[in-house]
């Protein structure tokens, strides 16, 4: 290995957005270097040229210059605005996951990462993904705030307790990349790291189907749906005490208090844990809370099950 290999000029680029972020980074680095050089050189030049000759020096009186003030207000303002627009548009683009993204679920807890594929496989501190396909991570913490950070992909997002957050990325080459917890979370914070394995789609399929054939998230959720007794009220044909959940996911729901909210992941999670806050119009507020009875992992499984309802026993998403 050459001696300079310890000094890479940029971290590995493993995602579609990495290069764009790096270009902005280089632009800002150039601005920093140019302005620093100008300031250093000018100070050095003035300090030498106008060094004190005697204690009796009488420098001329110069109060200032309006032209210069305007000039050195306008130039930085212009540069700031250009940078702002550039970075904001990049950020907007990078924030929106494509529709067809493959969804994977992340649960952070002191001090490990649990990653759950809809097809069933569950990993600890490792994440296997196919190359060239958008991946959306839906994340939640079981305790304190964590943060999922993959430097090679230039993505990072806090993983919060009580609320889903998400990031997406599309890996551009196969390989092995570090991911880190980037929000201090206690004693073993530094140990909360792992690897993303980016594989060819064929290898990924093989990896998915390899190992112990477990149940998918939706199947596990269906099992819970029976065990927890949800099925007794939420009957598929709508004759139960609660509404039928067939085809519910993604649809708007009218609440007792007049609001209409979309039945997304956040809604379903809140409804399982705090049902009284979201009583559906036309139904009595009798659903008990499942707070403390189901883990975040089980909540995700229940949501996966509800998602699959009415979609003809949804098969695991195939690319």
Partner 1 sequence: MSTAPAEISVEPRVHYLNVDYGIKSWLLTTDHKRIAMLYLASITFMFVIGGAFAVIMRLHLIEPTGALVEPETYNKLFTMHGIIMIFFFLIPSIPAVLGNFLVPLMIGARDLAFPRINLLSWYIYVVGAAFTMYAVVSGGVDTGWTFYTPYSSTYANTHVMATALGVFITGFSSILTGLNFIVTIHKMRAPGMTWFRMPLFLWAIYATSMIMILGTPVLAITIVLLALERLLHVGIFDPNLGGDPLLFQHMFWFYSHPAVYIMILLGMGVVSELVTCFSKKRIFGYSFVAFSSVSIAVLSFLVWGHHMFVTGQSIYAGLVFSLLSFLVAIPSAIKVFNWTATLYKGSVSYQAPMLYAMGFIGLFTMGGLTGLFLASLATDVHLNGTYFIVAHFHYIMVGSAVMAYLGGIHFWWPKITGRLYPDTWARFAALVIFIGFNLTFFPQFMLGYLGMPRRYAFYPQEFQVLNVMSSAGASILAVGYLIPLVYLFWSMRYGPVASSNPWGAKGLEWQTSSPPPTDNFEETPVVTEGAYAYSSEEAPVV
* Binding to partner 1, residues 109-148 (CB under 8 A): 110, 143-145, 147
Does position 66 interact with partner 1 (CB under 8 A)? The reply is yes
Task: Kindly state the smallest distance separating residue 283's Cβ from partner 1, in Å.
Answer: 23
Structural tokens at position 178 = 């570090």
Structural tokens at position 189 = 């914070």
The C-alpha angle with vertex 41 and arms to 40 and 47, in degrees rounded to 5, equals 90
* Contact status, residue 169 vs residue 150, Cβ threshold 8 Å: yes
Q: What is the 3-state secondary structure (H, E, C) of 93-147?
A: HHHCCCCCCEEEEEEEECCEEEEECCCCCEEECEEEEECCCEEEEEEEECCCCEE
Task: Kindly state the smallest distance separating residue 288's Cβ from partner 1, in Å.
Answer: 17
Return the residue of 35, 286, 289, 317 that touches partner 1, per CB under 8 A: 35
Distance CA 269, CA 274 (A): 8
Task: Kindly state the smallest distance separating residue 190's Cβ from partner 1, in Å.
Answer: 4
Helix axes 296-308, 217-227, angle to 10 degrees: 100
Query: Smaller CB distance to partner 1: residue 75 or 317?
Result: 75
Q: How many residues bind partner 1 (CB under 8 A)?
A: 85
Task: Kindly state the smallest distance separating residue 65's Cβ from partner 1, in Å.
Answer: 7
Task: Identify residues 192-231 at the interface with partner 1 (CB under 8 A).
Answer: 193
Task: Kindly state the smallest distance separating residue 118's Cβ from partner 1, in Å.
Answer: 22
Angstrom CA distances, 4 to 1, 9, 269, stand at 8, 10, 50
Return the residue of 1, 2, 55, 213 that touches partner 1, per CB under 8 A: 55
Does position 310 interact with partner 1 (CB under 8 A)? The reply is no
248 burial via Cβ count (<10 Å: 0-12, 13-18, 19+): middle
Return the residue of 109, 117, 128, 157 that touches partner 1, per CB under 8 A: 157
* Contact status, residue 142 vs residue 296, Cβ threshold 8 Å: yes
From residue 161 to residue 190, the character string flagging contacts with partner 1 as x (rule: CB under 8 A) and all else as - is: xxx-x------------x-xxxxxxxxxxx
Return the residue of 1, 2, 68, 252 that touches partner 1, per CB under 8 A: 68
Candidates 173, 186, 302; CA nearest to 248 is 302
Structural tokens at position 50 = 């106008």
Query: Smaller CB distance to partner 1: residue 120 or 194?
Result: 194
Task: Kindly state the smallest distance separating residue 174's Cβ from partner 1, in Å.
Answer: 19
Return the residue of 2, 52, 124, 239 that touches partner 1, per CB under 8 A: 52
């Amino acid at each position: 290995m050459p001696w300079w290999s310890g000094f890479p000029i940029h971290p590995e680029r493993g995602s579609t957005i990495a290069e764009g972020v790096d270009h902005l980074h280089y632009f800002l680095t150039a601005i920093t270097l140019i302005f620093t050089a100008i300031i250093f050189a000018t100070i050095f030049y003035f300090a030498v040229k106008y060094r004190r000759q005697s204690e009796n020096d009488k420098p001329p009186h110069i109060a200032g210059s309006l032209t210069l003030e305007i000039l050195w207000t306008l130039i930085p303002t212009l540069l700031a605005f250009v940078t702002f627009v550039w970075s904001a548009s990049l950020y907007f683009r990078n924030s929106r996951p494509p529709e067809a993204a493959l969804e994977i679920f992340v649960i952070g807890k002191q001090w490990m990462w649990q990653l759950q594929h809809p097809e069933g496989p569950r990993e600890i501190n490792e994440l296997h993904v196919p190359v060239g396909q958008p991946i959306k991570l839906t994340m939640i913490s079981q305790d304190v705030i964590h943060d999922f950070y993959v430097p090679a992909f230039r993505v990072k997002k806090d993983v919060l307790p009580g609320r889903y957050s998400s990031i997406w990325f599309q890996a551009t080459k196969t390989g092995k990349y570090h991911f880190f917890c980037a929000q201090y979370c206690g004693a073993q914070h530094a140990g909360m790291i792992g690897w993303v394995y980016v594989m060819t789609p064929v290898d990924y399929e093989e990896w998915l189907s390899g190992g112990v054939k477990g149940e998918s998230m939706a199947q596990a959720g269906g099992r819970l749906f029976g065990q927890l007794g949800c099925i007794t009220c939420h009957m598929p044909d709508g004759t139960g005490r609660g509404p039928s959940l067939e085809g519910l996911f993604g649809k708007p729901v009218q609440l007792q208090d007049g609001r209409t909210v979309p039945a997304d992941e956040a809604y379903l999670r809140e409804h399982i844990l705090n049902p009284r806050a979201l009583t559906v119009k036309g139904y009595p507020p009798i659903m008990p809370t499942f707070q403390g009875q189901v883990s975040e992992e089980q909540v995700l499984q229940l949501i996966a099950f509800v998602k699959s309802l009415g979609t003809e026993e949804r098969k695991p998403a195939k690319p």
